[in-house]
Amino acid sequence: MTSPDAPTSPVDPTTTSAWAELEAHDLALDGSLREWFAEDPERAARFTHDAADLHVDLSKNLLTPETMRLLLQLAREVGVEERRDAMFAGAHLNTTEDRAVLHTALRRPAGSSPALTVDGQNIDEDVRGTLHRVYEFAQKVRSGQWTGITGKRIETVVNIGIGGSDLGPVMVYEALKPHAQDGLTARFLSNIDPTDAYETTRGLDPETTLVIVASKTFTTLETLTNARLVRSWLLDGLRESAGLTVEQEKEAVAKHFVAVSTALDKVEEFGIDPENAFGFWNWVGGRYSVDSAIGTVLATVLGPDVFEELLAGFHAMDQHFATAPAEQNVPLLMGLTNIWNVNFLDAETHAVLPYSQYLHRFPAYLQQLTMESNGKAVRWDGSLATTETGEVFWGEPGTNGQHAFYQLIHQGTRVIPADFIAFATPDHALADGEQDVHELFLANFFAQTKALAFGKTAEEVRAEGTEGALVAAREFSGDRPTTSIMAPKLTPSVLGQLIALYEHITFVQGTVWGINSFDQWGVELGKQLAKDLAGAVGGDEAKIAAEDSSTEGLIRYYRQHREG
Taking CB under 6 A as the criterion, the residue among 7, 286, 335, 426 binding ligand F6P is 286
Closest residue by Cα to residue 296 from 359, 175, 214: 214
Residue 403 appears among annotated catalytic residues: yes
Task: Say how far apart CA 291 and CA 106 lie, in whole Å.
Answer: 6
Considering the rule CB under 6 A, would residue 220 count as an interface residue with ligand F6P?
yes
- Residues 345-404 binding ligand F6P (CB under 6 A) are 372
Considering the rule CB under 6 A, would residue 296 count as an interface residue with ligand F6P?
no
Considering the rule CB under 6 A, would residue 217 count as an interface residue with ligand F6P?
yes
Identify the active-site residue in 222, 308, 309, 372.
372
User: Treating both helix axes as pointing N-terminal to C-terminal, what angle do 221-242 and 194-201 enclose, rounded to 10 degrees?
Assistant: 40
Taking CB under 6 A as the criterion, the residue among 107, 179, 287, 350 binding ligand F6P is 287
Identify the active-site residue in 250, 489, 527, 531.
527
Considering the rule CB under 6 A, would residue 103 count as an interface residue with ligand F6P?
no
Q: How do the residues of the chain divide into helix, strand and coil, expressed in percent and rounded to 5?
A: 55, 15, 30
Task: Say how far apart CA 292 and CA 127 lie, in whole Å.
Answer: 8
Stretch that binds ligand F6P, among 18-26, 119-127, 217-225, 411-419 (CB under 6 A): 217-225
SS3 of 410-478: HHCCCCCCEEEEEEEECCCCCEECCEEHHHHHHHHHHHHHHHHHHCECHHHHHHCCCCCCHHHHCCECC
Considering the rule CB under 6 A, would residue 164 count as an interface residue with ligand F6P?
yes
Q: Which is nearer to ligand F6P, 165 or 448 (CB)?
A: 165
Least Cβ distance, residue 310 to ligand F6P (angstroms): 19
Q: Dihedral angle at the C-alpha atoms of 399, 401, 402, 408, nearest 10 degrees?
A: -160
Stretch that binds ligand F6P, among 44-52, 172-180, 212-220, 541-549 (CB under 6 A): 212-220
User: Treating both helix axes as pointing N-terminal to C-terminal, what angle do 80-89 and 65-78 enclose, rounded to 10 degrees?
Assistant: 50
- Residues 45-84 binding ligand F6P (CB under 6 A) are none
Q: Which is nearer to ligand F6P, 215 or 484 (CB)?
A: 215
Considering the rule CB under 6 A, would residue 110 count as an interface residue with ligand F6P?
no
Residue 103 appears among annotated catalytic residues: no
> What backbone torsions phi and psi does residue 29 show, to the nearest 5 degrees?
-60, 125
Stretch that binds ligand F6P, among 35-43, 214-222, 249-257, 320-328 (CB under 6 A): 214-222
Amino acid (1-letter code) at residue 501: L
Instruction: Please return the burial class of 416, using the count of CB atoms within 10 Å of its CB with bins 0-12, 13-18 and 19+.
Output: buried
Taking CB under 6 A as the criterion, the residue among 520, 536, 544, 555 binding ligand F6P is 520
Angle at 471 (CA atoms; ends 467, 474), nearest 5 degrees: 135
CA atoms 323, 329, 332, 334: torsion sign: negative
Identify the active-site residue in 42, 403, 459, 524.
403
Amino acid (1-letter code) at residue 441: F
| 3-state class (DSSP) for residue 520 | coil
Contact pattern from residue 123 through residue 162 relative to ligand F6P, giving x for each residue in contact according to CB under 6 A and a dash for the rest: --------------------------------------xx
- Residues 460-489 binding ligand F6P (CB under 6 A) are none
Task: Say how far apart CA 52 and CA 359 lie, in whole Å.
Answer: 19
Least Cβ distance, residue 308 to ligand F6P (angstroms): 23
Considering the rule CB under 6 A, would residue 216 count as an interface residue with ligand F6P?
yes
* N-terminal to C-terminal alpha carbon distance within the chain: 61
Amino acid (1-letter code) at residue 212: I
- # of chain residues touching ligand F6P (CB under 6 A): 15
Considering the rule CB under 6 A, would residue 279 count as an interface residue with ligand F6P?
no
Considering the rule CB under 6 A, would residue 215 count as an interface residue with ligand F6P?
yes
Q: Which is nearer to ligand F6P, 216 or 256 (CB)?
A: 216
Q: Which is nearer to ligand F6P, 365 or 420 (CB)?
A: 365
Taking CB under 6 A as the criterion, the residue among 38, 45, 523, 554 binding ligand F6P is 523
Q: Are 519 and 288 in contact (CB under 8 A)?
A: no
By annotation, the residues acting in catalysis are 372, 403, 527
Residues in contact with ligand F6P by the rule CB under 6 A = 161-165, 215-217, 220, 223, 286-287, 372, 520, 523
